Amino acid sequence: MKKLWLDLGNTRLKYWIVDGDTIITHDAKEHLKAPNELLLGLLGTLASFQPEFVGISSVLGDKINLALTQTLQTLGVPFEFARVNAHHELLSSHYDPNQLGVDRWLQMLGVVNKNQKQCVVGCGTALTIDLIEHGVHLGGYILPNVYMQRHALYAGTQQISVKAGRFDSTALGQTTFDAVNHGVLFGVVSAVRAIQADYPDFVITLTGGGANMLNQQFGNELFVEPELLLKGLKRYFCC
């Protein structure tokens, strides 16, 4: 049975089309604040694979989700939006389910193992840190990612001009440009190092578009699962 797993995040639309455990095709595209328009443009491609079910994760709010619903109805196949389930058989949570984003929850669901203590770090539009102890979500943190931090610094100061640049070092900056880029990366890396220090027996898994960049600062020694949310979506509908 072919299925379409669809992830609508704050900046990107990602999808898998699967047949059983085999990924037939996948893609990720920036939706530029127009996710429904992007989905409309992809419908022909998605329909050509003849999926029999569509599972969706969306963090885009009720108004956009309604538009997405109307678009998906034109596919003519059953579809469903994933919802946070604080009493799921694999992952329970102390968090108020109405305050827990479905993206964070699905990322955790994609990796949770009741035999482990785990930390999931989502490296997306925001940096999310969530702790799981033997299948129980304990809580977490949400931080601006490096790009948001840099933008906020530029927007709130008069003497620092806006420049792009890679986030590839936490060394002491010798110019203002390096001090900004190294500094915001230093803050994110320090947050993860603090988790390592405070929860030394928790296995850390990085996911999201910035996972590899962050892992480089740890000697590439942390686990990286770039598509953890889509794995969680599959688990949500297939368990």
Provide the pLDDT for residue 84.
95
pLDDT of amino acid 239: 59
Domain ranges of the chain: 2-81, 92-238
Residues with catalytic function: 103
The tens digit of pLDDT for each residue in 172-220 reads 999 888 889 999 999 999 999 999 999 999 999 999 999 999 999 999 9
Query: At 22, which helix (H) or strand (E)?
Result: strand 22-30
Q: Are 131 and 118 in contact (CB under 8 A)?
A: yes
Residues of the chain with pLDDT under 50: none
Q: Is 89 exposed, middle or buried (0-12, 13-18, 19+ CB in 10 A)?
A: exposed
> pTM score, two decimals?
0.92
Q: What is the pLDDT of residue 161?
A: 65
How buried is 22 (Cβ within 10 angstroms: 0-12 exposed, 13-18 middle, 19+ buried)? Answer: exposed
Right CATH for 92-238 from 1.10.3720.10, 3.90.550.10, 3.30.420.40, 3.40.50.2300 = 3.30.420.40
State which fold the 2-81 domain adopts. Nucleotidyltransferase; domain 5 (3.30.420)
The pLDDT score that the predictor gives to residue 213 is: 95
Domains 2-81 and 92-238 share a fold: yes
| Predicted local confidence at residue 39, as pLDDT | 95
What distance, in Å, lies between the first and last C-alpha atoms of the chain?
A: 15
Q: What is the pLDDT of residue 162?
A: 58
Give the CA-trace dihedral at 74, 103, 188, 113, to 10 degrees: -130
pLDDT digits (tens, 9 = 90+) for 127-141: 999 999 999 999 999
pLDDT score at 176: 85
Predicted local distance difference test score (pLDDT) of residue 153: 85
The secondary structure of residue 87, as a DSSP letter, is B
